[in-house]
Amino acid sequence: MERRVVISGMGWVTPLGNTIEDVWQRILRGESGVAATTLFDASTFPSTFSAQVKPFSLEDFLGADAAAHEGASRNSRFALAAGMMAWRSAVLDGYTLLDRTRVGVYLGGGEGPLDFGSFAAAALAGCRNAEGEVERLDTVRWAETGMRVLDPTKELEQDPNLAAGHLAVQFKAQGPSLNTLTACAASTQAIGEAAAVIRYGDADVMVSGGTHSMIHPLGVTGFNLLTALSTRNDSCLTASRPFDRTRDGFVLGEGCGVLILEELEHARRRGAPILAELVGFGSTADAFRITDIHEDGRGPVASMRAALDSAGLGPEHIDYVSAHGTSTKENDKIETLAVRQVFGDLAKKVAISSIKSMVGHLIAAAGAVELITCVLAIRDGIVPPTINYKEPDPNCDLDYVPNEPRKLGVQAALSNSFGFGGQNNTLIIRKFSD
Amino acid sequence: MAGKRRVVVTGLGVSTPIGIGIEPFWDALIRKECGIKRAELFDPSGLPSQVAGELPAFSLGDHIPKSYRKSAKVMARDIKIAVVAAYHAVTDAGLDTKCIIDRGEASGPPNVISTRFGANIGAGLICPDLTELGGALATSADADGNFSLALWGAGGVNKGISALTPLWLLKFLPNMLACHLTIVHDAQAPSNTITCGEASSHLAIGEAARTIARGDADVCVCGGAESKVNPMAMARPTLCDRLNTDSNADPEHACRPFHASMAGTVASEGGGLVILESLDHARDRGARIYAELAGFGASSNVHAWDGPDPDGNGIALALQKAIADAGSGVDRIGLAAPLGMGIERYDRSEAAGWNQVFGDGLPDIPAMTTRGALGNNGAGTGAIDFAAMVMAMHRNTVPPSLNTDKADPSSRFRFVQDDPIDAHITEAITTGYALAGGQCAALLVRRFEE
């Protein structure tokens, strides 16, 4: 018999706060988490703002266990906080009958922030000759400084799989442990693959989601060079405006979303909360170009269709689409085109929104946080708005739930994530019923 | 399990310091060649560990269509190594992909449908090119010669952030290995990038097998690649006390897996890509079948995220799961292929894991590890090991394992020392694990029978 996968717990760390209910209410009020960047001095960069997570204490989430994770990177700290939140909400804390060899972790965790100060110091030392003149980097001179200033823990914590390692140790989860990094699609892919792990029978419970911060000098450098970020430095609160005609790029965010995925019978046996059922997953590659999305949106179309097929649902069953909706010119146009192809005449009727208008783009963590909002939309019968939507774009002519949330009975929701290089992933969740 | 499709191995492609392409690689293993020497890709004199495994010179252009050559400038070395290995894998499998047809090596049409052709690629934390990034950073020194973030962010003509090329970030995103090779070969089915250190390609191959078994793809190119031969990627493990520093004058004996005198691993590079295929698809096109991928097990070390579990519990569980998944038993395994990093605390952990599962039976079966010849190939490690293991079964031959002549007391592996030995192997199993992060995995292959 087919093993069904349900969501039994959720936690997140976001630019709008760190509790499920509070952040959800802020999202429904259309609040923005965007402000001037303070994690480093970005004042001279082309983009001076971002959506940052506010400082928090890991002890508030882990108690005495926090000490063991000293030195954890920003990504790992986010994951531990959101992971514990999810674990508790699934009532796994204190559940003594859990077979830990059947509990796994599957994250879309980003690279940990580079220790930029030390890196730059070593780079400059490597480029300066004995006379103090700047020349091509000499690896011997670089190593002299590098080996002195680089810190082992900070280097180790940059490995993208470290957050998953922290979670596995924290929860004594001995089952499959994986980390995917398919750019902006990573956590959607992680959740889809984690569900597949359960469905196949390789685990009963998977701690899944994504965690990422690229709000550091090289992250902003990379995205600014790609001209992917909004540069509305004088009006950052309204800079993220998915599907609006005047959109000029995404706003970099950071954070983490973790969901507890569980095999239905396992959840039932222990009387776990069942928040929704994960019914569909699609993953495709554009296989087109590194720099551009395929102009017909063939990858996103195939991804959404694969997710619908695996769910055994048609477009008519989908009440809400949580868009990738980055607020870049290309993405929002192609995603609209793709939704139109998949939904046909229904495209104009389905509610579509992008919470990136409020929390920015959490990169590898984006999909997990967005999927949590889909669960909440199903639970509460209300869908979040796309804020900062003022001027319609002829290329984006669908219903983006502009500026105000909407009461809407949601039976099934579809969540898209698309990554640089043409990585497309789609998840479908449904209100749980026997 | 019933209803799940069988998965077979039909192509092997590797790019390693001792050979590019499966045949040259296998021949080098048999000839006991060692790929470790003093690092030449950069001057390692400033680092305590100065030896490395480097690929022989290769031409990327020989492995991609002419029309794709301009993309080479946005490929980090890790990506190039993967693209080269992928070419060899599809060629070895007799797959006429877009790349092969565009290169004029087959007339087409493709004998694999793009939308049923997936990719699961293991990748590492790709280091930015230090010369490029360092040179750019050096344009932003203040009057005192210190780096100025304000000058960096402000840019200018060839200054600060503007000293880097617009596509700079794309060179180093881990998913770009998969993106480039799915473009080149037109693989549009599920595509994933696994970033779990040295466990990456074991996990990627296992996940690809599951993708085929559940019916989401018919063919997958899977494995991984990484280059750890650059200053940053060698400084990091040095700081974490992982690299050998006692053999700068004797590189060929630097990496000594499970050896009584093991003293650290060696930075290396390499890639392995494997073609997995549903049995039906392989049969329908008359493909040569190397072996069946019969078992996959994944687990986590929960002792520590930054080091090994002394008891090897994660390794043991991965082995048990793979054996159970294959419906096999310990007594049916005829070849053991551990990772063998050459680092005392890690090798003892890995040996403990195998000892837990195989007990007194371990010395009865031959074992192999390629680390002595290759060093640490990062995310490519597992796929190279997998390819070597499959070849051993296919050729009825267990190759010698370099630098394993005197075993550490913790190790009960029976490595082959001099000449390769003949062995009719029906099942073989390999383990991989991440040096940091705790991920462990095992893959079991079985001699193919209808």
Contact across the interface for A45 and B71, Cβ inside 8 Å: no
Summarize pLDDT for B32-81 with one digit per residue, the tens: 999 999 999 999 999 999 999 999 999 999 999 999 999 999 999 999 99
Please list the pLDDT of chain A residue by residue as tens digits (434 residues): 789 999 999 999 999 999 999 999 999 999 999 999 999 999 999 999 999 999 999 999 999 999 999 999 999 999 999 999 999 999 999 999 999 999 999 999 999 999 999 999 999 999 999 898 899 999 999 999 999 999 999 999 999 999 999 999 999 999 999 999 999 999 999 999 999 999 999 999 999 999 999 999 999 999 999 999 999 999 999 999 999 999 999 999 999 999 999 999 999 999 999 999 999 999 999 999 998 889 999 999 999 999 999 999 999 999 999 999 999 999 999 999 999 999 999 999 999 999 999 999 999 999 999 999 999 999 999 999 999 999 999 999 999 999 999 999 999 999 999 999 999 999 999 999 98
> Percentage of residues in chain B with pLDDT exceeding 90?
98
Q: Are residues A259 and A213 in the same domain?
A: yes
- Exactly one of A212, A294, A324, A374 is catalytic; name it: A324
**Which residues does chain A have within 8 Å of residue B438's beta carbon, measured at their own beta carbons?**
164-165, 168-169, 177
Q: Whole domain around residue A130: which residue ranges?
A: 116-150
Residue B388 sits at the chain A interface (C-beta within 8 Å): no
Does residue A324 carry a catalytic annotation? yes
Q: Are residues B437 and B358 in the same domain?
A: yes
**Which residues does chain A have within 8 Å of residue B301's beta carbon, measured at their own beta carbons?**
168
Q: Are residues B49 and B136 in the same domain?
A: no
In a domain, B357, yes or no: yes
Q: Are residues B163 and B205 in the same domain?
A: no
Q: Are residues B92 and B112 in the same domain?
A: yes
Q: Provide the chain A residues 146-185 that lie in CB contact (below 8 A) with chain B.
A: 146-147, 150-153, 155-156, 158-162, 164-166, 168-169, 172-183
Q: Are residues A233 and A93 in the same domain?
A: yes
User: Which of A47, A221, A288 to probe the B interface (max B CBs under 10 A)?
Assistant: A221
Residue B135 sits at the chain A interface (C-beta within 8 Å): yes
Q: Are residues A300 and A384 in the same domain?
A: yes
Domains identified in chain A, total number: 2
Does residue A266 carry a catalytic annotation? no
Residue from the list B134, B175, B300 with its beta carbon closest to the beta carbon of A174: B300
Contact across the interface for A139 and B210, Cβ inside 8 Å: no
* pLDDT over 80 at B1, yes or no: no
Q: Are residues B272 and B231 in the same domain?
A: yes
Q: Burial level of A261, CB count in 10 A (0-12/13-18/19+)?
A: buried
**Residue A407 Cα, gap to closest chain B Cα (Å):** 35
SS (H, E, C) chain A: CCCCEEEEEEEEEECCECCHHHHHHHHHCCCCCCEECCCCCCCCCCCCEEECCCCCCCHHHHHHHHHHHCCCCHHHHHHHHHHHHHHHHCCCCCCCCCCHHHEEEEEEECCCCCCHHHHHHHHHHHHECCCCCECCCCHHHHHHHHHHHCCHHHHHCCCCCHHHHHHHHHHCCCCCEEEECCHHHHHHHHHHHHHHHHHHCCCCEEEEEEEEECCCHHHHHHHHHCCCECCCCCCHHHCCCCCECCCCCECEEEEEEEEEEEEHHHHHHCCCCCCEEEEEEEEEECCCCCCCCCCCCHHHHHHHHHHHHHHCCCHHHCCEEECCCCCCHHHHHHHHHHHHHHHHHHHHCCEEECCHHHHCECHHHHHHHHHHHHHHHHHHCEECCECCCCCEECCECCCCCECCCEECCCCEEEEEEEECCCEEEEEEEECCCC
State if pTM tops 0.95: yes
Residue A30 sits at the chain B interface (C-beta within 8 Å): no
Q: Are residues A268 and A203 in the same domain?
A: yes
The question of ipTM being above 0.85 is answered as: yes
Q: Are residues B214 and B362 in the same domain?
A: yes
Q: Whole domain around residue B160: which residue ranges?
A: 131-140+147-168
Q: Provide the chain B residues 26-65 that lie in CB contact (below 8 A) with chain A.
A: 42-48
Does residue A236 carry a catalytic annotation? no
In a domain, B90, yes or no: yes
Domains identified in chain B, total number: 2
In a domain, B278, yes or no: yes
In a domain, B2, yes or no: no
Q: Are residues B119 and B136 in the same domain?
A: no
Q: Provide the chain A residues 65-104 that lie in CB contact (below 8 A) with chain B.
A: 100-101, 104
Q: Are residues A136 and A187 in the same domain?
A: no
Contact across the interface for B170 and A226, Cβ inside 8 Å: yes
Residues 6+ apart with CB under 8 A from B92: B11, B12, B13, B21, B22, B275
In a domain, B202, yes or no: yes
Q: Are residues B424 and B376 in the same domain?
A: yes
Q: Are residues B178 and B190 in the same domain?
A: yes
Residue from the list B119, B137, B150 with its beta carbon closest to the beta carbon of A285: B119
Residue B431 sits at the chain A interface (C-beta within 8 Å): no
Residue from the list A140, A181, A221 with its beta carbon closest to the beta carbon of B175: A181
Q: Are residues A201 and A308 in the same domain?
A: yes
Q: Are residues B152 and B176 in the same domain?
A: no
Contact across the interface for B302 and A140, Cβ inside 8 Å: no
**Residue B163 Cα, gap to closest chain A Cα (Å):** 10
Largest CA distance in chain B: 74
Contact across the interface for B239 and A291, Cβ inside 8 Å: no
Q: Are residues A130 and A22 in the same domain?
A: no
Q: Are residues B181 and B163 in the same domain?
A: no
Q: Are residues A86 and A64 in the same domain?
A: yes
Contact across the interface for B149 and A172, Cβ inside 8 Å: no
Mean pLDDT score of chain B: 97
In a domain, B179, yes or no: yes
Q: Are residues B179 and B305 in the same domain?
A: yes
- Exactly one of A166, A184, A294, A374 is catalytic; name it: A184
Residue from the list A44, A137, A176 with its beta carbon closest to the beta carbon of B150: A44
Q: Domain end: A96, A127, A150, which one? A: A150
Q: Are residues A208 and A136 in the same domain?
A: no
CATH number of the domain to which A163 belongs: 3.40.47.10
Q: Are residues A266 and A122 in the same domain?
A: no
Q: Are residues A130 and A207 in the same domain?
A: no
CATH number of the domain to which B51 belongs: 3.40.47.10
Q: Are residues A411 and A355 in the same domain?
A: yes
Residue B260 sits at the chain A interface (C-beta within 8 Å): no
